[in-house]
Structure 1
Amino acid sequence: MRPDEVARYHADRPGYELLDYAEVALPVYKVALRVMLLQHTPLTPMFEFVLKTIRIGIDTLDEIAACLGIPPEMVKSTLEGLHTSEEIEIVGGTDGPERFRLTRKGEKTTSSLERVRPEQQTIRLFFDGLTREPIDASAAVLLSGREAHDLGMTEIPALPNAKIEVSDIDLAAAGRILSRERTGEGKRDLLAIKEIERRQRLHTPAIAMVFQEVGGGDVELLFATETTMLDEHNRRFALAEGPRKTRLLAEFSKPAVSAQDSFSRKLQTLDRAIAAPAPSGRKRTLRAKAPAAEGTISAVTVHEHPLLLWDAIATASDRVLIICPWITDQVVDKPALASIEKMLKRGVRLFVGYGLDDNDRKKRKKVPEALQRLASEYEGFQLHDFGDTHEKVLIKDDAFVVEGSFNWLSFRGDPDRKLRHERSLKVTDPAFVEKEFALFEARFRAKGRRGGKSVEGDAE
């Protein structure tokens, strides 16, 4: 599930409204422990048969060899091993042959058909930084701090921000995790933890959601992963105190957000506005954060670009301007054309500039003919081959301008495909937006309106 879908799933909370959400990285510690284990290993057939013959009273070397039908030398070697491990003891032997009997340990070994011996090892376990409990991380996505930062995630600090110590570790819980992780290595009981040799802080992805009581009451920060609300994490976070938690709440909570601008309300508005299916055939969903203050600049990640594009086409009231080098039918497909025509019928002006000459005519493909037909049919649609542009620009009304590296009309930015790094800046200052639009509109005027004519552009 995408982050916006996770937020939608958990948005219904009676008495509260979801103001905002963000991708976060929850703390996880990878810890190397020096421990004492009790190793259980199955008995070899030779040890099993010798122990069982001794238990029924066949207790000399020659008697055991004759009973089992094996050479005395093999029996002698086995008896020496069992004596060394204190599973048998020698009785008699002064006036006759040595006799053997099982010790208490040998009785247990014979009954369980496994040998038990203590050993020291260094093992690896993972601990949750909020619950401070050992966890099974075999199926978890674990990120370094740098990886979490590069993905735009906010790091959640461990609360309390103290190192994991031996005294913090629940021996029984750690033993259960160890048993699950080492199912193919035989049974091992965790007897004691001697010391922590090293610690490494990692992170696991989650979604943080800011809820506020209806009517402007208390604000809460809750964590979730896909369809699971992390109740224990939320309880521990609610009980935590200190400046790190205060700063985190201040970062996520925006006092200026009113109920009408909440995430829940804005999602309802966008769902009504974006009724047409997305070009991929899926319903569009937007990461709808509270409106930024005028004049702010924010970064746009790769998968957020298509959401901005189709939101602009669905909700613009005056104009949409798109500049990009290439146009392909992978993006401008039938559903996309239907959305564009619906916008044009509302009287919204559309400016599309494209085209980059690089002297490689073999790569050139025609702009989708259906898009050219729309340009010839609607007076408010200007479609021009600039022939010299490598710019990537999106302008909606005077609401925002986005400029960066994303090819708006030739790259889908599908989150289900392999990640491709693209990044842009979004500016919401109306004066700056108007200035940028005026610069590009002048180029359209200089070019002259061209509609319905077959023009070529490079395919990406």
Structure 2
Amino acid sequence: MPTANHAILADQFADARDGLTLVAIVPAGIPVTTLKVDVDAQQEKELPLLTESMLRLIGAGVTAPTDLSGLLGFPVDPVRRTLSEGMFRGHIRLDPNSSDGDERVRLTPLGQQVAVEHAAIRPVRERMTFYYDGTLGDIQPYDPALLVQARKAADEDLLKLPAVTTNPVHADDVTPEKLNSLLRADADNRYTVLCVRDVRHPPTPRYLPADLLVYSDPDRKDIEVAVVIDGKISTAHELALISRGGANALGIRVDPPAERPRLNDELELIRVPIATSREKTSSHAMPGAGPGEQGKVVGVSVFDHPRLLEDAITQARDRLLIMSPWIKKSVVNNAFIAKLEGRVRRGVRVDIAYGFSRHDTKCDPEAVGLLEDLSKSYPESFTFSRLNSTHAKVLIYDNTCVTTSFNWLSFQGARDRTYRMEEGNLVTIRSFTDTQYAYFLSRIADERMA
């Protein structure tokens, strides 16, 4: 199901492919595996203040323990213990020219480096966490908070992008060079990986939500896809998909555009088409309307529909009517129900009707159940009806009426990945909306299943 954000993406990327039209924006999921990587590494560890100060003084020529104690203001015993630790770590050595009564120390080359960098380097064995992008076949710096479980990806009907391989990730698949390139990007990191010993991960990947842009030429022979992550096109993912067959391998097809519902001649005359959608905010007087009656009549693209539905269930003040042949849980979920209930509790009259045919089974029972439960809680202000048959796709709220070929409460192309341009009409002329509202209420009453 397209989201309200897709209208923004459509504005941003509609012209990203010369000669091609943006046909669909499909919610997608990139398979990501959480890797627990056992490594041998070097760790830079910040020096204790006493150690750092002592190394710097020795480097400046203060080499006797008693002199170091006096300048540092520490008793000689902790100074000698720190010197012994420095010898153990290879930072300090005894001066071969010192006598028994005049013991002196010098910095080793490693100690000189540590004194300059103010950090000690020690070998460690660590288990680190990285994220492996299955589509790219490489680790990436993803935020784990953005990843979703496989079940949620299925519930949201994300198109799962293919992985390079279904084989487990092994130590040979991740190199120290790649790990270190990611670690260096972290300002707080103090590790340098020397060797990858083992890789462990769960059998089921999580998914990084993304958006798949589907472009097509007028003859629907040239279909291209692009992957958008966090509002930016990922060329790496696009090339990875092309190498595996692109849109064809994903089962994506583009059908001819759906026929737009026609308005009466007067409204068709003033309708602003989608091609000039930048003018949608213009108001137009309706010929034959009441004195001073104003409104707008504009074309609605497939990417505008989710935003309009969101506006309806969050901003309707008086009335809300939705007719849609099918209902899917990718649209009607708990968040949708919460917003709809918010309208009902504020006194908005709500009518929702569905049903492609008497024996149709394409609706999700879970989504239907959510609406049934809500209607039982508010029987005076919310009606939910199963119709014998409806092809109508209508959204009416307050002064706005949208007639379209778009399925408001489902996304019919999601199962077989066949997409087409869905176009509608938005009218905000009160007399027209009132007439349409009464007409569709009457249809619901006449076609309601017993």
Name the TM-score, length of structure 2 as normaliser: 0.59
Tell me by how many angstroms 1:61 deviates: 2.5
User: Highest CA radius of gyration, 1 or 2?
Assistant: 1
Query: Which one-letter code corresponds to 1:59 in the other structure?
Result: T
* 1:10 aligned residue (10, 13, 28): 13
Does structure 2 retain, via aligned residues, the 8 Å contact 1:17–1:259? no
**Are 1:4 and 1:287, in contact at CA under 8 Å, matched by a contact in 2?**
yes
- Corresponding residue to 1:399 among 391, 394, 399: 391
1:72–1:212 distance in 2 versus 1, CA, 3 Å: same
Decide whether the 8 Å contact of 1:61 with 1:72 is kept in 2: yes
Q: Partner residue of 1:208?
A: 212
- The 3 A distance-change label for structure 1 pair 238 and 61 is same
CA contact (8 A) 2:387 2:447 kept: no
SS at match of 1:206: strand
Q: What is residue 447 of structure 1 aligned with on the other side?
A: none
Partner of 1:318: none
Give the secondary structure class of the aligned counterpart of 1:83.
helix
CA 1:4–1:23 in structure 2 vs 1: closer, same or farther (change >3 Å)? farther
Q: CA deviation at 1:52?
A: 3.0
* 1:61 corresponding residue in structure 2: 65
1:112 — aligned with what? 117
Residue 249 of structure 1 pairs with residue 250 of structure 2: yes
- SS of the residue aligned with 1:299? coil
Question: Does the alignment pair 1:299 with 2:292?
Answer: no
Q: Distance in 2 between matches of 1:128 and 1:357?
A: 44
Give, in whole Å, the separation in 1 of the partners of 2:160 and 2:253: 16
2:33 is the alignment partner of 1:32: no
Q: 1:32: Cα distance to partner?
A: 0.9
Cα offset for 1:328?
A: 6.0
SS of the counterpart of 2:55? helix
Matches within 5 A, 1:9-408: 9-12=12-15, 13-92=17-96, 95-138=100-143, 141-181=146-186, 183-184=187-188, 187-199=190-202, 201-225=205-229, 227-240=231-244, 248-250=249-251, 252-254=252-254, 257-258=255-256, 268=274, 286-287=302-303, 299=328, 301-302=330-331, 390-392=383-385, 399-400=391-392
SS in 1 for 2:86: helix
- Runs of 5+ unmatched residues, structure 1: 278-282, 290-295, 308-324, 333-355, 364-385, 413-421, 427-435, 444-460
- Residue by residue over 1:255-277, the C-alpha shift from the partner in whole angstroms, topping out at 9 and shown as x without a partner, is xx126779xxxx93896998799
Conserved? CA contact 2:95–2:104, under 8 Å: yes
Alpha-carbon distance, 1:297 to partner = 5.3
| Distance in structure 1 (CA, Å) of the matches to 2:381 and 2:52 | 85
How many residues of Structure 1 are paired with residues of Structure 2 in the alignment? 332
RMSD of aligned residue pairs (Cα, Å): 4.8
Q: So what's the TM-score if we normalise by structure 1?
A: 0.58
1:68-94 deviation digits (Å, cap 9, x = unpaired): 443211211111111111111224467
Structure 2 CA distance for partners of 1:442 and 1:57, relative to 1, 3 Å:
closer
Match of 1:344 in 2: none
Whole-angstrom CA distance in 1 between matches of 2:102 and 2:278: 96
| Aligned equivalents of 1:52, 1:64: Cα separation in 2 | 11
Task: Sort the Cα spacing of 1:249 and 1:99 in 2 relative to 1 into closer, same or farther, 3 A.
Answer: same
Distance apart, 1:233 and its partner CA = 0.5
Checking the alignment, whether the CA contact within 8 Å between 1:328 and 1:409 is kept in structure 2 is no
Q: Is the 8 A contact 2:92 2:108 kept in 1?
A: yes
2: CA distance, partners of 1:357 / 1:222: 41
- CA, structure 1 residues 112+261, in 2 after alignment: closer, same or farther (shift >3 Å)? farther
Q: Which residue of 2 aligns with 1:336?
A: none
Q: Provide the rounded CA distance (Å) in 1 between the counterparts of 2:178 and 2:185.
A: 11
Contact persistence 1:395–1:401 (CA under 8 A) = no
Which secondary structure does the structure 2 equivalent of 1:391 belong to? strand
Q: CA deviation at 1:59?
A: 2.5
The answer for unaligned runs of 5 or more in structure 2 is: 261-272, 284-298, 306-324, 337-342, 351-373, 401-407, 413-440
Instruction: Supply the distance in 2 between the matched residues of 1:238 and 1:111 (Cα, whole angstroms).
Output: 50
Query: How many Å separate the matches in 1 of 2:223 and 2:375?
Result: 54
